[in-house]
Chain A
């Protein structure tokens, strides 16, 4: 399916958020995800599915002042 992740168009076989994070080798405990402008609560990540043309932001903490 076609989705947009952090501004980049992507093709993925993942149908759920956990599957997508695994595809990107990302630990769900270290990232926060927004789907179509709405934050996905950590507790809901395991049960969140993806849909065609979803727009995702996947962020994490980096060094900053």
Chain B
């Protein structure tokens, strides 16, 4: 069954986006991509000469790059990073991430909206990382966001779908795709988000920090596919306490 996610005019078969941070070795990344089936991959922009090695040598051609604006504390800084990323020649998709709180790493909705508006007007396909608040989400959509990317839990925490209710409201109310980003700790979390009607999930730490990241990448791929299929299939009704409902006929018993 054809079930593509169309984003910025691009048709995606995979609904699992992956990050490239925190791998014990970046040389794992090609195998992670292969096992996850991901078509979209995030990268960050940093000064050369620091500890981080460049990651591009490990990303196969044909992957859709989603640079983030991590490190930005204001809309202005996010816009500057987006311009640098575009100048690097990796297309015009940008994940807006504006964070000034270094303890909880929660995104600044106001600055994120400002950056989204500027970059969407310039023609970027803007994917803002956000706290799942309905009003912030609506402002982002009004500002030109192509999707919204609510956090499941704080970045890198692996605590799972802590914001489930609020993400459910976004799925219910918004016309743009919801891509759950940050905090998903295990494949069941991604599966649950997809069953709820999220259009995709972005996973980094839960794969990169697993004992066997390659196998975990495959597990997330299967979980996202399972959740998506369950959503499309339409779940059977949940029955309450005392309402057990036999699956086998209740007649014709041997006595």
A-B contact count, CB below 8 Å? 92
Residue interface bits A41-61, CB-to-B below 8 A is 1, else 0: 110000000000000011111
Name the interface residues of B65-94: CB closer than 8 Å to any CB of A.
65, 67-68, 70, 83-85, 87-90
Distance between B221 CB and nearest chain A CB, rounded to angstroms: 17
Query: Contacts of A12 on B, CB cut-off 8 Å?
Result: none
Residues of A near B48 (CB, < 8 A) are 6, 24, 26, 31, 58-60
Q: Is B52 an interface residue (CB 8 A)?
A: yes
Q: Which residues of B contact A42 (CB under 8 A)?
A: 87, 89
A30–B49 contact, CB under 8 A? Answer: no
A residues whose Cβ falls under 8 Å from a Cβ of B: 6-7, 24, 26, 30-32, 34, 39-42, 57-65
Q: B58: nearest residue on chain A (CB-CB)? A: A63
Per the CB 8 Å criterion, the residue count for chain B at the interface is 37
CB atoms of A61 and B47 under 8 A apart: no
Task: Flag whether B204 is at the interface (Cβ < 8 A).
Answer: yes
For residue B44, which residue of chain A has the nearest CB? A64
Chain B hits for A40, CB < 8 A: 87
Residue on B with the closest CB to A39? B87
| Chain A residues with CB below 8 A from B88, complex form | 31-32, 60-61
Stretch in B5-13, B21-29, B166-174, B187-195 with 4+ CB within 8 Å of A: B21-29
The chain B residue sitting closest to A34, CB to CB, is B84
Known A-B contacts A30-B54, A30-B56, A65-B19; the reply to A60 vs B87 at CB < 8 A is: no
